[in-house]
Amino acid sequence: MRLERLHTAANVATAIAWGAIVWALYMVFHFVPMERTMGNVQRIFYFHVPSAMVSFLAFFICFLASLAYLFTRRRGLDIAAQASAEIGVVFCSVVLITGPIWAKPIWGIWWTWDARLTTTLVLWLIYVAYLMLRAYLPEGSRKANLAAVVGILGFLDVPVVYMSIRWWRTQHPAPVIMGGKGSGLAPPMSQTLRVCMIAMLCLFIALLLRRIVVELLQDEVDHLYREADVAPPERG
């Protein structure tokens, strides 16, 4: 059965994610040497960057699932879009929280309205709105369609937002803060970053599968209630 197979997959992914996270923590706090100028706070980099990567991947999956949903109308794709957006928002929040913590001691400021930061914030706002829409749409035949439209529109908007902010900021030059990405990263650092990325990816996959399983179980429970001709209890 599909549900059981997914459940097993979620368990396996969780186990792998555990292992990968332990490995990543070892790399970050023990293996990698202290960065000379930034000190200990630089270690947040190993959580910040992989989270950003994973959140972007999550929103991309939400976009693909939404698009595929509109063409196939399969319930599974609607669930995948929702689960992916939820997890994406969590990782994106991590990015937005760890960013300023890292920035304050290094740049001396919490926040700057440069293209990358601003786009991340707008991205977060778009997907929080997406989840809010899902919460406020009544359960019915329109819900999945409408959510999918926003899932697609929101993602397509991201490059447009990024380009316009970058363009605007180059008109009014702001201090260039981030150097070329990953430039001059020492080998132990890039190794650690790679491990952290794998760990985050594993965590993402485990969470995604788990979330999908929960939603499918919910469907199953409702189905059983209906078969038995009993009204399912109100869910908040």
Partner 1 sequence: MRFLQQLFTIFMKDLRLEWRTREAMSAMLLFALLVLVIFNFAFNPDREMVLAIGPGILWVAFTFAGVLGLNRAFASEQENGCLSGVLLTPMDRGAIYLGKWLANLCFTLIAEAILLPFFVLFFNLSLTTEIPPLLLVCLLGTIGFTAVGTLLAAISANTRLREVMLPVLLFPIIVPVIIGAVQSTGLILNHETEGLTSFIRMLALYDVIFLVTSTLLFDFVLEE
Partner 2 sequence: MNQAGGGATGYAVEARGVAKRFGRITALRSVDLDVPRGGVTALFGHNGAGKTTFLRIAAGLMRPTSGELKIAGLDAHKEAAAIRGHLGVVSHELFLYGDLSAMENLRFYGRLYQVDDLEARCEEVLTRVDLIHRANSRARHFSRGMAQRLAIARAFLHRPDILLLDEPYTGLDQRSVATLNELIEGFREAHHTVLLTTHDHHLGFTMATDIAILRRGEVIHHTPAAALSREEFDALYEESLQ
Q: What residue ranges bind partner 1 (CB under 8 A)?
A: 70, 122, 125-126, 129, 132-133, 136-138, 140-142, 145-146, 148-150, 152-154, 156-157, 160-161, 163-165, 167-168, 171
Residue 25 interacting partner from partner 1, partner 2, none (CB closer than 5 to 8 Å by kind):
none
Give the residue with the Cβ less far from partner 1, 15 or 160: 160
Residue 226 interface partner, choices partner 1, partner 2, none, CB cut-off 5-8 Å depending on type: partner 2
| Cβ 148 to partner 1 shortest distance, Å | 7
Q: What part of residues 112-141 is at the interface with partner 2 (CB under 8 A)?
A: 139-141
Residue 75 binds partner 2 (CB under 8 A): yes
Give which of partner 1, partner 2, none residue 139 binds (C-beta under 5 to 8 Å, depending on kind): partner 2
Binding to partner 2, residues 55-74 (CB under 8 A): 73
Nearest distance from C-beta of residue 191 to partner 2, angstroms: 45
Instruction: State how far the Cα of 94 lies from the Cα of 44, in Å rounded to an integer.
Output: 11
Please check whether residue 222 is in contact with residue 234, taking contact to mean a CB–CB distance below 8 angstroms. no
In the complex with partner 2, the residue whose CB is nearer, 62 or 206, is: 62
Determine, following the binding rule CB under 8 A, whether residue 224 of this chain makes contact with partner 2.
Answer: no
Query: Smallest distance, Å, CB 67 to partner 1?
Result: 11
Q: Which is nearer to partner 1, 52 or 213 (CB)?
A: 52
Distance CA 161, CA 145 (A): 24
Q: Report the Cα–Cα distance between both ends of the chain, in Å, rounded.
A: 29
Amino acid type, 201? L
Angle at 213 between CA 3 and CA 52, to 5 degrees: 135
Distance CA 50, CA 21 (A): 12
DSSP string spanning 46-68?
HHHHHHHHHHHHHHHHHHHHHHH
Q: How many Å apart are CA 203 and CA 84, to the nearest integer?
A: 12
Residue 131 CB-half CA count within 13 A: 15
Q: Half-sphere exposure of 204 toward its Cβ, with a 13 Å CA cutoff?
A: 27
User: Which positions lie near partner 2, rule CB under 8 A?
Assistant: 73, 75, 78, 139-144, 218-219, 222-223, 226
